Amino acid sequence: MGKCLINNNIRKLRFMAGEMTQQELADRTGVTRQTLIAIENGKYSPTLELAFRIARVFQLPIDEVFSFNEGEDTLSTKSKTE
C-alpha cells in the first residue's frame, strides 16, 4: 500500500476529550470502529465528509485534526524539481 499522506491527531484528541473510546467516536461519526482504527493508524484517508464529522465531534477546525504530509508527497516534490 502507498503511504497515507494524511496525518491526524485523533488519538491525542480522544485522550484530551476525557479518554473518549474509539467505539464512541465511531458511533458519533457514523463509521465502524475498524475504520476509525485504520484512520488513526494512517492506513486509510477519510473522505472530506468524514474528516469534517470527526473535527466536529472535537469542536475543532479540520486542519487541527488532520494535516497533509508534504514531505511524503511525490507529486509536490516532482513539481518543485521541474
Partner 1 sequence: MDQKERQILVTIISTVLITGFYVWYVYQKHVVGNLEILNDFKFWGRSFLWLIPLAVVTQIVIHIIYAIINRIVTNEDVPSKTDEMDKLIELKAIRISHLIFTFGFIGAIGLLAFGVKPYVMFIILFSSGFLASMVSEIVKLYYYRRGI
Residue 78 cell numbers, joined = 516532482
| Phi, psi (deg, nearest 5) at residue 8 | -150, 160
Amino acid 26 reads A
What is the chain's Cα-based Rg? 14
By the rule CB under 8 A, 6 interacts with partner 1: no
* Segment interacting with partner 1 (CB under 8 A) among 6-14, 29-37, 59-67, 68-76: 29-37
* Segment interacting with partner 1 (CB under 8 A) among 6-14, 26-34, 56-64, 73-81: 26-34
| Residue 37 C-alpha from the chain's centroid | 10
- Judged by the rule CB under 8 A, the positions of this chain that interact with partner 1 are 1, 4, 30-32, 34-35, 37-38, 41-44, 46-47, 50
